[in-house]
Amino acid sequence: MARPVVIAGNWKMNGTIPETESLIGALLNGLPTGGSCEVVVCPPFPSLVAARAAIGSGAIRLGAQDCSEHESGAYTGEVSTAMLLTVPVSHVIIGHSERRTLFQETDDRVNLKVKRALGAGLTPIVCIGETESEREANATEAVLERQIRVGLADLDGDELARLVVAYEPVWAIGTGKTATPEMAQEAHAFVRKQLDSLHPGVGDRIPILYGGSVKADNAAGLLSERDIDGALVGGASLKPADFLAIIAAGSGTLQGA
Ligand code: PGA
């Protein structure tokens, strides 16, 4: 079965509302016509409504960078899936390594958020990946296995098939160090096998994005790998020319066909 190619931009804590509007305008102007990949941008919460308006009927999907695992109530500073649906957004990043390391987000919490997002009809982009010390200790596969087993626990085949997974080695995020296409492919194949072990056959249906210092000049090499179905892009997604070049690298390729 062919999997969609997804190029997603994670803007992190960057961009005021006017900056969001101008970045989206530049992206809409430069999008390849008839491109076959799905483009998603994830601005900070305060910019989402303006981003939605700026996109209009353009071929860009909108995502949030996080959501609460709770439905509503006394959770100061949190944003619920119901709020995100009124923007509306279609995607939500869950379990980004910055949430895990800076905000103590555990695999159990990731699991609750994934369930909450799926229940709301959103597409979770679930991030997993090992730190540098875990890789050096040969623990990469054990870490990925745990993040998948716990983070995606209790989901049935139909729910799993609605996920996007992003493999982001933590040592490659924002550092300029990228996994080689071969290293990334090896990890992606392992992740796909683990997804399949949750529900037979589902591994082939879930797009697995690579993230970690994806740039205009390394995107094509990464995306040419069999199990790399797209990219989650941080820094380079804030520069229209760079992000458009990554989108161009993702257009016209259909994975797993
Ligand atoms: P980066 O970030 O592309 O700046 O390394 C990727 C991410 O954090 O998703």
The pLDDT of residue 32: 85
Question: What is the reported pTM?
Answer: 0.96
The predicted structure's pLDDT at residue 241: 97
Lowest mean pLDDT among 69-78, 174-183, 188-197: 174-183
Query: pLDDT band for position 1 (50/70/90)?
Result: low
Nearest CA to ligand 1 atom 9: 234
Residue 252 confidence class, pLDDT cut points 50, 70, 90: low
State yes or no: pLDDT of 107 exceeds 80.
yes
Q: Does position 257 have pLDDT exceeding 60, yes or no? A: no
Ramachandran angles phi, psi of 196, nearest 5°? -65, -30
Q: Do 194 and 237 contact (CB within 8 A), yes or no?
A: no
Task: Give yes or no for residue 60 having a pLDDT over 50.
Answer: yes
Beta-carbon contacts of 20 under 8 Å, excluding residues fewer than 6 positions away, are 11, 43, 47, 50, 51, 54
Q: Is 182 a catalytic residue?
A: no
Which of 21, 38, 69, 96 does the annotation list as catalytic? 96
Residue 168 CA to residue 139 CA, distance in Å, equals 15
The best mutation among 10, 11, 65, 96 to test binding of ligand 1, ranked by most ligand atoms within 8 Å of the C-beta, falls on: 10
Backbone angles phi, psi at 35, to 5 degrees: -60, 145
Tell me what pLDDT residue 255 has.
44
User: For the residues 200-211, what does the mean pLDDT come to?
Assistant: 97
